[in-house]
Copies of this chain bind each other. A is one copy, B any other.
């Protein structure tokens, strides 16, 4: 048997290629070759490669995994055999045996909004870079689904999880933590003890945006908030207040309208804001989508942006620069957030004991075409009829409406 192994690689290879496998070598003890069963597909396995190369299957495994302790000649011989058979390792089998899958999972709410796709682009880019496969799961806000996904994913599908979570912390996070499963949360701007989090500086960004409006001379600056369950939403309100305070402007509850980051709600909120006795001359929307809603409302009211109303968004999704006029907004480095998330996750997968950390990325104000100084002070002072200066009959109607019910 031993002399056997020593047979010169070259001719050894040839006679191994013959149909008859040398018994007790190709088929290890207790593994009777291949049963008649199914035989799913005739895909070559590690055993076929081993037989062809005239080595044991574990040696093939070592070659596949670039492990040391394989003679260079042997390695070559195995490589040739693999190429010859067109061998590709079975992913599930390695995952099962090794406990590693080489993939990461990405959990996102949906794919509709550019907000998510922007992050996903960053994730995809970096995942490819560090050699992870990407499993994309969208939850469509179905909480039960979400927990299920997480369970499945963390049980043999992926090595780590990236969760875009602009909301409250769900229960499964606790479970992941206790199972010491690597995960990173993206866009979760609130307390998350023991979790690795990547978020943008929401408060700072909002402050920049509102400070910009104040500098332009606006005194009545409204905010349309994001979804109240999102921490980022809260942070942006704080930034708004910071900026007001810094500019010496009073905080006025009537200038705070609740939104949900989406367009329709912002549209509605804007109509309500403008109906007030003292409507704002500028609106800070908590997302670009919301800003689009503001602009649509303005258009309907016959107001021009930015002449009659200034608008600032948040996020800088691609559409922001397409619309007319292009939107002034706060750049949130979405793509970079995705990239950073993967980088961090890769570290965690490598070393499970890394202490959790929180990573805050800077935001930048991007001044484009939707902000300008407020319309002449006169209009601002002559409330109610002020807007009528915008000229459209719709505006007049709103003005009339706001006169009749002085406060909402």
Interface residues of A (CB under 8 A from B): 38, 40-41, 43, 86, 88-93, 95-96, 99, 101, 103, 111-112, 117, 120-121, 124, 128, 133-138, 140, 151-152, 154-157, 175, 179-180, 318-319, 322-324
Contacts and interface: CB of A to CB of B under 8 A. Distances in A.
Contact of A95 (B92, B154, B175): B92
A40 B101 CA distance: 14
Q: Of residues A91, A96, A128, which shows the largest number of chain B Cβ atoms within 10 Å of its Cβ?
A: A91
Nearest to A140: B128
| Most chain B Cβ neighbours within 10 Å, of A137, A154, A155, A180 | A155
Contact of A179 (B41, B91, B103, B134): B41
A117 B156 CA distance: 28
Contacts of A93: 92, 96, 156
B111 A120 contact: yes
B157 A91 contact: yes
B99 A96 contact: no
Say how many copies of this protein the assembly contains: 2
A133 B124 contact: no
A139 to B, nearest CB: 9
A134 B133 contact: no
A314 to B, nearest CB: 18
Contact of A92 (B88, B101, B134, B137): B101
A40 B99 contact: yes
A183 B96 CA distance: 25
A175 to B, nearest CB: 8
B124 A88 contact: no
A88 B43 contact: no
Contact of A134 (B96, B136, B140, B324): B136
B111 A121 contact: yes
Contact of A124 (B92, B101, B136, B152): B136
B96 A124 contact: no
Contacts of A89: 155
A189 B136 CA distance: 27
A393 B171 CA distance: 65
A128 B135 CA distance: 13
B136 A91 contact: no
Nearest to A112: B121
B99 A90 contact: no
A155 B40 contact: no
A9 B388 CA distance: 79
Given A92-B92, A133-B135, A140-B128, A41 B180 contact: yes
Contacts of A121: 111-112
Which of A43, A88, A179 counts the most B-chain CB atoms under 10 A from its CB? A88
Nearest to A128: B138
